[in-house]
Amino acid sequence: MFQFFISIRRSPLFMLIDVTQHDSSFIAAEVDAMYVGIYHYRGLRLRLFLFFLIILSIALISSDYLGYAVGPVNGIEALAWLTDPGTSFLSALVIFSGTTLIIGDYFKQIQLSGTSNLLIIRSQTRRCATLKAYVTIFLTTFILMLSTFVLVGLAIHLLRFPMVFNNKQLVEELQFGYSWASLVWIIFSRAWGISVFTMFAFAVGLWIPRLGLYRLSGLIISLTMYLGVATMGDVSWLRMVGAALFLPNLIAPTTVADFGPYLLHISPILLQGLSIIIYLGLTCLLTMSWQHHEAEK
Quick one: pLDDT at residue 145?
A: 95
Give 271's contacts (C-beta < 8 A, 6+ positions apart): 243, 244, 249, 253, 257, 264
Give 128's contacts (C-beta < 8 A, 6+ positions apart): 28, 31
Quick one: pLDDT at residue 56?
A: 92
Distance of CA 262 to the CA centre of its chain: 23
Quick one: pLDDT at residue 83?
A: 85
Give a three-class secondary structure readout of 103-165: HHHHHHHHHHHCHHHHHCCCHHHHHHHHHHHHHHHHHHHHHHHHHHHHHHHHHHHHHCCCCCC
Is-contact 191 200, C-beta < 8 A? no
Backbone angles phi, psi at 209, to 5 degrees: -80, -15
With a cut of 70, which residues of the chain have pLDDT below it? 1-42, 63-72, 114-126, 167-178, 233-234, 236-237, 254-265, 297
Whole-number percent of the chain with pLDDT over 90: 24
Q: To which H or E segment does residue 13 belong? A: helix 12-15
Distance of alpha carbon 115 from alpha carbon 119, whole angstroms: 6
Distance of alpha carbon 134 from alpha carbon 196, whole angstroms: 9
Quick one: pLDDT at residue 32?
A: 52
Distance of alpha carbon 283 from alpha carbon 196, whole angstroms: 9
Quick one: pLDDT at residue 158?
A: 94
Outline where the chain has alpha helix (H). 3-10, 12-15, 24-36, 44-61, 64-68, 75-81, 89-99, 105-113, 115-119, 123-159, 179-205, 211-223, 229-230, 239-245, 247-251, 253-256, 268-295
CB atoms within 10 A of CB 131: 11
Distance of alpha carbon 193 from alpha carbon 202, whole angstroms: 14
Give 260's contacts (C-beta < 8 A, 6+ positions apart): 230, 233
- Pick the closest to residue 86 from 231, 259, 225 (CA basis): 259
- Pick the closest to residue 61 from 94, 99, 86, 91 (CA basis): 91
Cβ burial, residue 292 (10 Å; 0-12/13-18/19+): exposed
Is-contact 29 23, C-beta < 8 A? no
